Amino acid sequence: MKLKALLPPTWLFMAAMAMLLLHFLIPVHEVVPSPYSYLGAPLILAGLALNIWADQLFKRAGTTVKPGERSTSLIVCGPYRFTRHPMYLGMIASLVGLAVLLGSVTPWAVVLAFILLVTIRYMPAEEKAMEEAFGEEYRRYCQRTRRWL
C-alpha cells in the first residue's frame, strides 16, 4: 500500500499504535500522573463522538467523506458551524486523550506529527477541492468558520 493512498483513519490507527509503543518502550518521563491521567478517557470518547456525528452528517447528505473524492454537498451544520474540519479535530482529541491516559511524554510527539500530517497533507487539498466544487458558497463558509476552532 502506498503512503499517499492511506486515509486519515488509517493514520489515526497507526498513530495510536505508535503512541502505545513509545509509551511502553521509551516512556522517558511521566507528565500526567494517575489519577489525572484518567481524564484522557473522556477526551477519547469526545473525539470519537465528534467523528461519528460529522460522519453521519455526510451520510445523511449523501456525499463522500473520503479525501480525494468529489463532494456533492457542502455540510455547514452541526460541528461544521464551528470548525471546517471536525473529523480531524475529533481524531486529534482522541489522540490527546490517549496521550493523557498514557501519561508519559513520548506519545505527545506522535500527536504533534499527526497534527502536522493532516494540516499539511490533507487540509489544503480538501479545501482546494471544496472551493473548486462549491466556489463562492465555500469561500463565504471559510470566512465565517475557522479551520480548527
| pLDDT profile of the chain (149 residues), mean per 10 | 74 98 94 96 98 97 91 96 97 98 97 97 95 97 96
Give domain status of residue 69, yes or no. Answer: yes
Give domain status of residue 2, yes or no. Answer: no
Give domain status of residue 3, yes or no. Answer: no
Is residue 104 a contact partner of residue 27, using CB atoms and an 8 Å limit? yes
- Residue 105 belongs to what domain range? 8-144
pTM: 0.94
If residue 148 lies in a helix (H) or strand (E), which one and from where to where? none
Q: Using CA atoms, how far apart are residues 57 and 21, in angstroms rounded to an integer?
A: 34
Q: Using CA atoms, how far apart are residues 27 and 87, in angstroms rounded to an integer?
A: 28
Say what the pLDDT of residue 33 is.
95
Give domain status of residue 149, yes or no. Answer: no
* Domains of the chain: total: 1
Give domain status of residue 135, yes or no. Answer: yes
Mean pLDDT for the chain overall: 95
Give domain status of residue 133, yes or no. Answer: yes
